[in-house]
């Protein structure tokens, strides 16, 4: 009789064990208790019947270390497990998974070879060194940024619409098989060559901070966002990219660029190149333009009635026209370090003088920068002599003068006075700008020369 009882006891235990799932991580088990899939106290086991039909499971931001037990969630389709402490995860038995989000963990590897129904895979900010996607042929979106990937093969993933492999260690990337690709984020790698000519549906390309020497986007007619700064691109053809709204090619080696066919451009960033000229006369949708540190000699924004931000410092500007009817909405205006720029054409000279201070001291704001028309800010009966001078400058005027300022050609203030005789024997030889300001706000600039 005792023998029969003992056998029955073991059979009951086996039966009980067959109906429970081992969950050694207490935080994981507590989460299942909180969701109503288990009962306290914590005992490292969860009834399998309670979890085997779950289709969506959210375990994000719980500090879980171990997801052992996840294999018995046999119906699971969507798994959220971001912001945990996972160093590994076994999802080889979760054949129904369609969406996996395991970003911000400590994963060194991730095996998704058995997850053939997978459509969305997000595993950003881990330490994954390699990943095999050859069995995930219906994958649509793949995010693996901020990992340790040296190579990535997406040749067997024709349905991919989004690839984010940014901030890895990739030296190459082949997207020729991804004809449905809409967005590609591959910035922050070591890619020296990128061929996107087969990605005709591409709308967003973020490939900045790589080693690209050239970039052919002639086949990407749907492209709206092209961000490729911090590369070594010396030439690019944007003629066919008529849908571009955001363009950033800053910190490259461009000597010229033609954007006359990109009439939808709203944001234009081209700073730190070698541009000698830039024609923006047709780009009437421009809102932000940042082109400092080039060699541009002329800019005309008279048709850019949406312009709200302009940085064109450190160029060779001789002509700058921003008279577009929208000056009062411009929140940032920077045009310093353009020593040859003497006049900026604007809507209202007094408004610009009061609000746009990041200009060189010789600059005059005017509604018309034709040399014969710059009379807006002149002061009547004002005479400066001699010029060139040796030691002194004499100033004669019949109106109320508020202040007289003397600047060097770098914009440094050398003198500020109300005197009519300026003792300037301490100045070095060279060219200076004398600015005379009337009490009513009018002013006049003079270029003077010290012998």
pLDDT of residue 121: 99
Report the alpha-carbon distance of residue 361 to residue 432 in Å, rounded. 10
Beta carbons of 100 and 87 less than 8 angstroms apart: no
Report the alpha-carbon distance of residue 9 to residue 2 in Å, rounded. 11
pLDDT of residue 412: 81
pLDDT tops 90 at residue 112: yes
pLDDT of residue 15: 45
Provide mean pLDDT across the span 251-270: 98
Q: How confident is the model at residue 421 (pLDDT cuts 50, 70, 90)?
A: confident
Share of the chain above pLDDT 90, in %: 75
**Dihedral pair phi/psi, residue 54, rounded to 5°:** -70, 130
pLDDT tops 60 at residue 373: no
Least confident of 43-57, 117-131, 287-301, 414-428: 414-428
List pLDDT tens digits, range 208-247: 999 999 999 999 999 999 999 999 999 999 999 999 999 9
> What token pair was written down for 241?
């990219």
pLDDT tops 80 at residue 382: no
Which three-class secondary structure state does DSSP give residue 352? Answer: helix
The CB density around residue 76, as the number of other CB atoms within 10 Å, is 25
Among 376, 337, 336, residue whose Cα is nearest residue 358:
336
pLDDT of residue 88: 98
pLDDT of residue 369: 80
Beta carbons of 137 and 119 less than 8 angstroms apart: no
Which three-class secondary structure state does DSSP give residue 103? Answer: coil
Q: How confident is the model at residue 18 (pLDDT cuts 50, 70, 90)?
A: low
Provide mean pLDDT across the span 53-62: 98
Q: How confident is the model at residue 46 (pLDDT cuts 50, 70, 90)?
A: very high
pLDDT tops 50 at residue 114: yes
Q: How confident is the model at residue 393 (pLDDT cuts 50, 70, 90)?
A: confident
**How long, in residues, is the chain?**
451
For the chain, the average pLDDT equals 92
List pLDDT tens digits, range 296-332: 999 999 999 999 999 999 999 999 999 999 999 999 9
Residue with tokens 């998704």, as numbered in its chain:
112
Among 29, 96, 39, 20, residue whose Cα is nearest residue 59:
29
State the architecture of 383-450 in CATH terms: Sandwich (2.60)
Instruction: Spell out the CATH class of 269-373.
Output: alpha beta
Report the alpha-carbon distance of residue 328 to residue 322 in Å, rounded. 11
pLDDT tops 80 at residue 36: yes
pLDDT of residue 403: 86
The set of residues, in sequence order, having a beta carbon less than 8 Å from that of 392 and lying 6+ positions away, is 421, 422, 423, 424, 425
Q: How confident is the model at residue 399 (pLDDT cuts 50, 70, 90)?
A: low
Report the alpha-carbon distance of residue 269 to residue 288 in Å, rounded. 8
pLDDT tops 60 at residue 372: no
Report the alpha-carbon distance of residue 281 to residue 189 in Å, rounded. 36
Least confident of 274-278, 291-295, 442-446: 442-446
Provide mean pLDDT across the span 350-376: 78
Where in the chain are the domains? 17-148, 269-373, 383-450
Report the alpha-carbon distance of residue 105 to residue 126 in Å, rounded. 5
pLDDT tops 90 at residue 167: yes
pLDDT of residue 208: 98
Share of the chain above pLDDT 70, in %: 93
Provide mean pLDDT across the span 432-451: 80
Beta carbons of 276 and 256 less than 8 angstroms apart: yes
pLDDT tops 50 at residue 143: yes
Report the b/e string of 108-141 with b at 16+ CB within 10 A: eebebebbeebbbbbbbbbebeebebeebeebbb
How is residue 274 annotated by DSSP? -
pLDDT of residue 1: 44
Same fold, 17-148 and 269-373: yes
Beta carbons of 258 and 235 less than 8 angstroms apart: no
What is the torsional sign of CA 189, 191, 192, 196? negative
pLDDT of residue 378: 61
pLDDT tops 80 at residue 99: yes
Q: Which CATH superfamily is domain 17-148 in?
A: Ribonuclease Inhibitor (3.80.10.10)
The set of residues, in sequence order, having a beta carbon less than 8 Å from that of 216 and lying 6+ positions away, is 195, 196, 197, 237
pLDDT tops 60 at residue 426: yes
Q: How confident is the model at residue 375 (pLDDT cuts 50, 70, 90)?
A: very low
pLDDT tops 70 at residue 8: no
Strand-pair category, 319-321 with 183-185: unpaired
């Amino acid at each position: 009789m005792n023998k029969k009882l003992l056998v029955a006891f073991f059979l009951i235990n086996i039966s009980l064990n067959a109906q429970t799932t081992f969950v050694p991580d207490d935080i994981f088990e507590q989460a299942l208790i909180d969701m109503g899939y288990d009962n306290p106290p914590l005992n490292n086991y969860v009834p399998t019947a309670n979890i085997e039909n779950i289709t969506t499971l959210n375990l994000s931001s719980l500090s879980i270390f171990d997801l052992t037990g996840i294999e018995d969630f046999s119906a699971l389709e969507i798994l959220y497990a971001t912001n945990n402490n996972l160093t590994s995860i076994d999802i080889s038995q979760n054949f129904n998974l369609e969406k996996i989000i395991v970003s911000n963990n400590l994963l060194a590897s991730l095996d998704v070879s058995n997850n053939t129904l997978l459509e969305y895979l997000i595993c950003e900010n881990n330490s994954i060194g390699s990943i095999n996607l050859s069995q995930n042929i219906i994958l649509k979106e793949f995010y693996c940024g901020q990992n340790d990937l040296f190579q990535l093969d997406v040749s067997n993933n024709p349905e991919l619409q989004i690839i984010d492999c940014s901030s890895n260690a990739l030296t190459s990337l082949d997207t020729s098989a991804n004809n449905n690709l809409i967005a590609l984020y591959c910035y922050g790698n070591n890619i020296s060559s990128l061929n996107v000519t087969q990605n005709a549906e591409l709308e967003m390309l973020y490939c900045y901070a790589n080693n690209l020497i050239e970039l052919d986007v002639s086949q990407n007619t749907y492209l709206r966002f092209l961000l490729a700064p911090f590369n070594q691109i010396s030439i690019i053809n944007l003629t066919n990219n008529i849908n571009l709204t955001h363009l950033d090619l800053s910190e490259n080696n461009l000597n010229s660029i033609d954007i006359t066919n990109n009439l939808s451009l709203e944001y234009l960033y081209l700073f730190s190149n070698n541009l000698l000229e830039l024609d923006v006369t047709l780009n009437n949708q421009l809102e932000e333009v940042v082109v400092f540190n080039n060699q541009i000699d002329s800019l005309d924004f008279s048709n850019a009635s949406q312009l709200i931000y302009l940085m064109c410092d450190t160029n060779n500007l001789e002509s700058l026209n921003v008279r577009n009817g929208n000056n009062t909405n411009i929140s940032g205006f920077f045009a310093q370090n353009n020593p040859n720029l003497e006049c900026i054409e604007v809507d209202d000279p007094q408004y610009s003088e009061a609000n746009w201070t990041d200009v060189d001291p010789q600059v005059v704001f005017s509604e018309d920068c034709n040399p014969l028309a710059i009379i807006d800010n002149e002061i009547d009966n004002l005479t400066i002599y001699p010029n060139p001078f040796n030691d002194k400058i004499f100033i004669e005027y019949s109106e109320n003068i508020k202040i007289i300022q003397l600047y060097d050609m770098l914009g440094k203030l050398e003198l500020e006075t109300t005197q009519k005789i300026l003792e300037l024997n301490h100045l070095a030889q060279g060219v200076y700008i004398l600015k005379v300001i009337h009490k009513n706000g009018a002013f006049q600039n003079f270029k003077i020369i010290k012998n």
